[in-house]
């Protein structure tokens, strides 16, 4: 083993506080990012669901029709 004891491992010849602070900050930020991402995803899904339901309620049967119509255009090659 590279260290004589667990205390030597934690101190890492004086560099321990910096190393463990960096590890702690990294894991704290990763956990925060994961929590934020899950909450943001749920909020977006709820927003889309509310928007879809309000659109469905306001249009009624019109939602089953095509949303757009397309007209064929004849282009002359003169």
Average pLDDT per block of 10 residues along the chain, 78 residues long? 85 91 97 98 94 81 63 80
Q: Is residue 77 part of a domain?
A: no
Confidence at residue 1, expressed as pLDDT on a 0 to 100 scale: 56
Confidence at residue 58, expressed as pLDDT on a 0 to 100 scale: 79
Residue 51: domain span:
17-56
Question: For the chain, what is the domain count?
Answer: 1
Q: What value, to the nearest 5°, has the Cα angle with vertex 52 and ends 70 and 62? A: 45
Q: Is residue 32 part of a domain?
A: yes
- Residue 49: count of CB within 10 angstroms of its CB: 10
Confidence at residue 73, expressed as pLDDT on a 0 to 100 scale: 80
Q: Is residue 26 part of a domain?
A: yes
Q: Are 24 and 16 in contact (CB under 8 A)?
A: no
SS3 74: coil
Q: Is residue 68 part of a domain?
A: no
Confidence at residue 23, expressed as pLDDT on a 0 to 100 scale: 96
Q: Is residue 9 part of a domain?
A: no
Q: How far apart are CA 78 and CA 67, in angstroms?
A: 34
Could you identify the residue written with the tokens 């010849």? 13
The predicted model scores a pTM of: 0.59
Q: Is residue 25 part of a domain?
A: yes
């Amino acid at each position: 083993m590279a260290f004589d004891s667990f205390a030597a491992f934690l101190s890492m010849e004086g560099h321990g506080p910096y190393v463990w602070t960096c590890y702690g900050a990294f894991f704290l930020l990763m956990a925060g990012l994961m929590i934020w991402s899950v909450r943001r995803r749920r909020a977006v899904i709820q927003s889309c669901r509310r928007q879809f339901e309000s659109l469905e309620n306001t249009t009624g049967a019109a939602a089953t029709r095509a949303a757009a119509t397309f007209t064929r255009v004849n282009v002359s090659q003169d």
